[in-house]
Amino acid sequence: MDLPICPLCGRVIPDEARQSLHHLIPRLKGGKGGPVVLLHQICHSEIHATLTEAELAREYNTIDALRGHPRLAKFIKWVVKRPPDFHKRSTGGRRKRR
């Protein structure tokens, strides 16, 4: 069986890696039941540490848009050098929900 690939960083997601589903449009902004993607938990945490729910809904509701954000692009460049099961807390904490 092939392992899933994280669409944000492009690394495989092994079974033992922390992982979670990301709603491309936040549930609080009308995305309940909408498209979701499986990500490494570290990638998912970085998205929410970088962008507000409103920004995610309005401008960053696709993987391409997320990958194009300057902070996330820098994060991706850094995280691709780490093992697929690597995890650490994101700096900066969660952004306020709007």
Per-residue model confidence as pLDDT tens digits over 42-78: 999 999 999 999 999 999 999 999 999 999 999 999 9
For 55-76, give the secondary structure using H, E and C: HHHHCCCCHHHHHHCHHHHHHH
Q: Domain locations in the chain? A: 1-98
Question: Hey, what are 32's tokens?
Answer: 């309940």
pTM: 0.88
Distance CA 75, CA 46 (A): 8
Those residues with Cβ within 8 angstroms of residue 76's Cβ, 6 or more apart along the chain or in another chain: 8, 9, 10, 67
pLDDT at 97: 46
